[in-house]
Structure 1
Amino acid sequence: MADTKAITTSKQIAALRLEEGRSVQRFRVHTSMGSGLFVELRKGRTQKVWLYRFYIANKSGDYRMGTFPAISLKQARELHAEAVQLVKKGIDPRTYRAAEVAKNTQAWTMQEAFERWLAHYTASPTRTGHLPTEKTIKQRKRRWRLHLEKQLASMRVQDVTRAKLIEVLSDAATEAREEARQCLIMLKGILAYAEDLEQIEESPAASITPAKIKARPSPPRDRYLSLGELTEVLQVFNDPNGRTSVTVRNVMRMLIATGARRSEVSQMQWGEVNMQAGIWTLPASRTKTRQVRRVALSAYSLEILKQQQQLSHSGFVFESPDIPGQP
């Protein structure tokens, strides 16, 4: 069942989170072309999907039009408008779209998907701003060749199922659990790329966890700061005359105060924080384990948040000082 209050801005869509206990949720989007446009969130899937619910001959259908933010609110409204006109003529927009795609693209095999994704991956900077190293690229090729190529290479991407992936990855886990985990990460990247380029509507790998295939969980990190080192670091970040911005220093202070991951803190949202109770609730969509996590906020953490209330003017706690509205 969809929310009754219609969404009108991209900022609202960016802030959407699946409610605890819900496996699927649809949010109605305002459009001048009538009803039926939604943003859909599902448990275990990080993407927010544009969806048009239509009726032809008293039968309903769901037309998935891509993901946000790859497809903007404006583009989604335009796609919705086109689909509405098709439905008025009695044409199923899903069938029409499939025919159009078939004219312009040929269905990929998994081998082609891997090669196209690898070329994209090789040319895409990592979070550090650097391109993947030659060693990393060789590792990806080796894992594909050893664990995935034999069973998946000749399959069409659109024919690959979640069950098939679990079977292949479980086989890999019997030989090397860590390799199976890395293969899962790579397959998620390959199939997400195929989804973005409209080879498939939804990635069958999106909701598969390492535990499902009996792969090794992420290795623990043994390195930690001593009390003396931690004190020195905090002295630097507490210095009001530091070279970095107040927001950046506060991000680093919050990392230390909560022990949360960098991406979790940097994308922290006001809607996740209960200042009165001193609780930060991380939704499953933003945690590595895909489970809701609650973090108790110390007095030190609350002081940081109070300072950010004066600096942030969006839904993000640590709003970028250079790009308004972004973390």
Structure 2
Amino acid sequence: MPRLFDKHLKAMLDKPQTGIVTYSDGDGLGARVSLTGKIRWQYRYKINNKNKRFDLGDYPELSLSKAREVVMQCRSWLADGLDPKHQRTIQITKTLNPVTVKEALEYWLVEYAEGNRANVEKHRAQFKRHIYTYIGDLPIEQLETRHWLECFDRIRKGVKGEQKAAPVAAGYVLQNTKQALRFCRVRHYAHTRALDDLMISDVGSKQRKKDRVLTDKELADIWEMVQKPNARYMAYYPNLIKLLIIFGARTQEIRLSTWDEWDFEQGFWTVPKSHSKTDAVIIRPIPVEIVSWLLELKSMSGNEYVLGELKLPEAVSVQGGKMWKRLDHKEKWTLHDLRRTLATKLNDLGVAPHVVEQLLGHSLGGVMAIYNRSQYLPEKKAALDLWLDRLDLLINPADNVLVMHSA
């Protein structure tokens, strides 16, 4: 039967007392009244027949009814074999220092993405722009689905005068965010299921499968442009595009490439796992025809990067997306379309599909992925030599007669 009432507590509050007294309310709850009339709640209990006690908070900030609720939780912890003092400390720490949205997403970026995603900085930039600015400082476990949807809808619909509508980007950010939250949940860093039921179609749209392959005329224009860049400040992009055309590599593989990856004695360019989308080493032969150009590029670079500097992926994407206009091409193409163009035209030239896949840095499927560890280096070298001959033919027809290497 409770022994304390609010009127009794209020009568003692901040009033001088003749001595320090503790009044019991039952179930281990007590109100300790100091000489100055300050009232502090305490919980008393036993573990292994040893008396224990800890403070719950002060009255009236912690009301009588709330103090009784806390004691019921403490008794429940004790019944489960847990020390109420420890559990109360954990609960308060979690409440007063909750994991924020930014902390959770950065936890995934640092603990997982930096070691497994080559385009981790792109993920971070998207989080900063679309998530951190709006809900980054809020406790992640207190957010509801609607708070997240406001961010994704802003990406999908765009913001007038600030950003264009980007439904595909909205779906992309959702995918990465869901993976990040799952990672945090599995590791017990933060727990939320606010995005579990959302799919890409709920916030945006999937990226459409692209089939853009450049024509010979378009390819000739590009190949001729990269041979003789017409402005020094543009050298970065012609060199990037030239390497993309020659090797069919991913943009990030070249953008991040450093000279220690290029072995001119053995004649190989080795893309490390950290730069590869498939988390696998990619080895490509260096065609003899471009060695002198690469060595000249190396002597002029002045640093470790093959392209002379490290540009952000967003900057490269924007500039690369304008190249088709600069060359007065009627139909848009992207830097990634150069990769598809190489694959398509090498197949047309009779190069075996598995060799093309190896050049692209794709993982071989089925049984080949398990048992076939060959890099097909002679075949890849022959394919690249054949490809360079084909490119030279586009701008130097030589009466349409050319003796090409066998594929």
TM-score band, normalised by shorter chain: 0.3 to 0.5
> TM-score, with normalisation over the residues of structure 2?
0.32
> TM-score, with normalisation over the residues of structure 1?
0.39
> Quick one: higher RCO (CA 8 Å, sep 6+), 1 or 2?
1
Query: Which has the larger helix fraction?
Result: 2
* Greater C-alpha Rg: 2
